[in-house]
Amino acid sequence: MANEQKTSHSKKSSGEGRSRKSSGTGRGRSRGTRRPAAAAAPERDASLVAPPKYRKGSMRIVPLGGLGEIGRNMNVVEYNGRILLIDCGVLFPEEEQPGVDLILPDFSYIKDRLDKVDGLVLTHGHEDHIGGVPYLLKLRKDIPLIGSKLTLAFVEAKCKEHHINPKMIQVDGHDKVKMGPFNLEFVAVTHSIPDALAVSVKTPAGHIIDTGDMKLDQLPLDHRITDLREFARLGEQGVDLLMVDSTNAEVPGFVKPEVSIGPALDKAFADASRKIIVASFSSHVHRVQQVVDTAHKYGRKVVFVGRSMVRNMGIASDLGYLHLPADTVVDLKQAKDIQDNKIVYMCTGSQGEPMAALGRIADGNHPTISVGEFDTVILASSLIPGNEHGVYKIINKLTRLGARVVNRDNAAIHVSGHADEGELLYFYNIVQPKNAMPIHGESRHLVANGLIAVKTGVDPQNVVLAEDGDVVDLYHGKAGIVGSVPCNYVYVDGDSVGELTDDELEKRRILGEEGFVSSFVVVDTEEHEVVKGPRIFLNAVAEDESEFESVKSQIIEQLEDAMMGGTTDVHKLQQMMRRTLGGWVSRKLHRRPMIVPVVADIAQQ
């Protein structure tokens, strides 16, 4: 499968973070020549090779997120100086990224050319595809947003929170729109949210299709199936590059239909004797519909919990995507008057997010909802790779509180919104593209998707295994990686966007995990002696200060020897004290706390 060589060209971290790859290295990968289809995806290294100057008459595709990770999906399509964007999502932080709210795509590649952007296509309303839109629009507010009715409604509500009034163009399956040189055609696809769309993009340089997230569920709740007839028609016209969802490419067979979870959900409700708490994505309208219908069947009231859940379900209901039986949904304030065996809380937090509603309930610090013995908690969603630890941590907390936890491990309570291997085989055979570029997934998912393409007849040389920041050129019907551009993590930390560096994030992690040790000493560099100290102060370190007595004499000896040797620079003395104290702590206590040395020189007062 196709890739190319990279020479030394360092990635710069101007306030952005590293890419979260399955390899864990988070930097650019070294390129070889074209690899056989069965080869594993190579790891990134610290070098990039700059792409060649754009070749007039070609189509250039640059993924700024979603390739090598689950989240922050964004693709840039260029033709003769004009730009089309497809999706603009976010990635949610992991435990080793304390204090980070969201992670954005790196807009630096297009930041100086935003006036050339003809539009932003949004394939569906999940956060990993639309969450970054307000941050992009802060750079240029009038970029047209193109998407389905529900998707645009979710984006509009999100933009209002940022005081942005977006320009929007509503489309549906079979609709055609021309944006600059880009001829767009939209195709209905089934996903775990209504109104998802794939987009066909045609220019004189060729024809590409971006599927967004999709599956081939033949029995979706809204009866809106993936339009395979339309994909076949587009395939007959000739598809030069097919960009396909890779999330479940490793999973054999076919995804079960959405309706199949009904019996498991019904059983969980039938077995529940007290309150029920269901956690799901705040945009999973189909899952919420199933919960609402089951609650109505068992005479229970439903309470939406969590700001995003309340907002999104209100929008879905107003637009007719969510059907609420009369008198079934009540406000959280009314819940206190309803018996435990007559209520269902529908909340956020299915991915183990500590500050989401379910996380706060599990920690016992939710202002309204508590969990006790014989309550039932249902996790009605899949596990996003990387979130396993957080989810099982919450499950354990709920179990200790006496709750019965129903999840994917003990009940068929969720089906995926992404196509399994069998569905992808069918899809490739229907479209029959000349080139394939797996998207939306970690490296292992992309490789698995590429192998599926090869099985269906795509030439291995025409399977492009790209990652975030790779530059892919489509020229004369041939697609290949020609270079890479910086594509780092951009952290959102409160009101700060892109200002948090990796070094600062590492300091936060150390503070949270290893503790803090500071040391203060007064010296006289003219007399070459330590006048006072060292005093050692501890924070979030289990050991007592008295255990540090043995290292104090070492610090004094090192500092006085250095001053006798002519060292009078306070900064150098501080670094020496840091090394002495840090080495002692590492050897004796097997810890790596943050160490802050302070040296005061009375000779310089």
| pLDDT, tens digit, 9 for 90 and up, residues 464-511 | 999 999 999 999 999 999 999 999 888 876 665 755 666 666 655 555
Cis check: omega of the bond before 534, within 30 degrees of 0: yes
pLDDT value at position 35?
31
Q: How far apart are CA 590 and CA 541, in angstroms?
A: 12
| pLDDT, tens digit, 9 for 90 and up, residues 509-524 | 555 556 678 889 999 9
Evaluate if residue 582 carries a pLDDT over 90. no
Q: 7-16, 55-64, 96-105, 533-542: which has the minimum mean pLDDT?
A: 7-16
Encoded tokens for 272: 């529940």
The angle formed by the CA atoms of residues 116, 119 and 124, to the nearest 5 degrees, is: 150
pLDDT value at position 10?
32
Q: How confident is the model at residue 428 (pLDDT cuts 50, 70, 90)?
A: very high
Q: How far apart are CA 288 and CA 311, in angstroms?
A: 13
Best CA proximity match to 25, nearest among 443, 557, 522: 443
- Answer for the pair 40, 447: CB distance below 8 angstroms, yes or no: yes
pLDDT value at position 588?
78
- Answer for the pair 297, 340: CB distance below 8 angstroms, yes or no: no
Evaluate if residue 39 carries a pLDDT over 60. no
Coil/strand/helix, residue 187 = strand
pLDDT value at position 84?
98
| pLDDT, tens digit, 9 for 90 and up, residues 161-184 | 999 999 999 999 999 999 999 999
Of 376 and 95, the one with more pLDDT: 376
Q: Which residues pair with 379 in a beta bridge?
A: 279
Evaluate if residue 528 carries a pLDDT over 80. yes
What are residue 501's phi and psi, to 5 degrees?
Answer: -95, 165
Coil/strand/helix, residue 437 = strand
Owner of token pair 């880009």 = 182
**Element (DSSP H or E) covering residue 103:** strand 102-104
Owner of token pair 């969980």 = 268
pLDDT value at position 527?
87
Best CA proximity match to 55, nearest among 475, 481, 410, 501: 475
**Element (DSSP H or E) covering residue 277:** strand 276-279
Distances (CA, A) of 186 to 146, 176, 282: 10, 7, 25
Coil/strand/helix, residue 173 = coil
Best CA proximity match to 367, nearest among 333, 398, 390, 338: 333
Q: How confident is the model at residue 55 (pLDDT cuts 50, 70, 90)?
A: very high
Q: How far apart are CA 219 and CA 217, in angstroms?
A: 6
pLDDT value at position 89?
95
CATH code, 56-253+416-504 = 3.60.15.10
**Rounded average pLDDT over 62-86:** 95
pLDDT value at position 288?
94
Distances (CA, A) of 94 to 26, 168, 247, 385: 14, 33, 19, 11
pLDDT value at position 503?
66
Residue 124: half-sphere exposure toward Cβ, Cα within 13 Å:
25
pLDDT value at position 22?
32
Q: How far apart are CA 183 and CA 200, in angstroms?
A: 8
Q: How confident is the model at residue 547 (pLDDT cuts 50, 70, 90)?
A: confident
The class of domain 514-604 in CATH terms is alpha beta
Residue 548: half-sphere exposure toward Cβ, Cα within 13 Å:
22
Rank 242-251, 569-578, 585-594 by mean pLDDT and report only the highest.
Answer: 242-251
| β 529-539/82-86 pair status | unpaired
Encoded tokens for 141: 């507010």
| β 117-121/168-170 pair status | unpaired
Q: Please name the residues in contact with 316: beta carbons below 8 A apart, sequence gap of 6 or more.
A: 150, 194, 285, 288, 322
pLDDT value at position 16?
35
* Per-domain boundaries in the chain: 56-253+416-504, 260-406, 514-604
Query: What percent of the chain has a predicted confidence (pLDDT) above 90?
Result: 60
Q: State the virtual CA torsion across 152, 305, 289, 145 in degrees, nearest 10.
A: 10
Residue type present at position 367: P
Neighbours of 584 (CB within 10 A): 16
Quickly list DSSP for 145-171. Answer: EEE-HHHHHHHHHHHHHTT----EEE-
Coil/strand/helix, residue 260 = helix
Q: How far apart are CA 94 and CA 73, in angstroms?
A: 17
Angle between helices 285-297 and 307-318 (to 10 degrees): 90
Coil/strand/helix, residue 472 = strand
Encoded tokens for 138: 């802060």
Q: How confident is the model at residue 19 (pLDDT cuts 50, 70, 90)?
A: very low
Q: Residue 105 burial by CB count (10 A; 0-12/13-18/19+): exposed, middle or buried?
A: buried
Coil/strand/helix, residue 30 = coil
Evaluate if residue 6 carries a pLDDT over 80. no
**Rounded average pLDDT over 304-325:** 94
| pLDDT, tens digit, 9 for 90 and up, residues 94-134 | 656 656 677 899 999 999 999 999 999 999 999 999 999 99
**Rounded average pLDDT over 244-255:** 96
Coil/strand/helix, residue 203 = strand
Q: How far apart are CA 90 and CA 72, in angstroms?
A: 4
The class of domain 260-406 in CATH terms is alpha beta
Evaluate if residue 198 carries a pLDDT over 50. yes
Q: 87-91, 193-197, 245-249, 515-519: which has the minimum mean pLDDT?
A: 515-519
**Rounded average pLDDT over 244-262:** 94
pLDDT value at position 13?
33
Residue type present at position 241: L
Rank 21-35, 119-133, 343-357 by mean pLDDT and report only the highest.
Answer: 119-133
- Answer for the pair 246, 423: CB distance below 8 angstroms, yes or no: no
Q: How confident is the model at residue 141 (pLDDT cuts 50, 70, 90)?
A: very high
Q: 108-122, 217-231, 268-282, 401-415: which has the minimum mean pLDDT?
A: 401-415
pLDDT value at position 501?
64
Q: State the virtual CA torsion across 431, 436, 440, 441 in degrees, nearest 10.
A: 120
pLDDT value at position 23?
30
pLDDT value at position 592?
74
Q: State the virtual CA torsion across 357, 360, 365, 370 in degrees, nearest 10.
A: 70
**Rounded average pLDDT over 344-369:** 87
pLDDT value at position 511?
55
3-state secondary structure 478-507: EEEEEEECCCCEEEEECCEECCCCHHHHHH
pLDDT value at position 542?
63
Q: How confident is the model at residue 29 (pLDDT cuts 50, 70, 90)?
A: very low
Q: What is the CA radius of gyration of the chain?
A: 28
| β 117-121/145-147 pair status | parallel
Q: How confident is the model at residue 411 (pLDDT cuts 50, 70, 90)?
A: confident
Query: pTM for this one?
Result: 0.77
Best CA proximity match to 170, nearest among 139, 191, 145, 135: 145
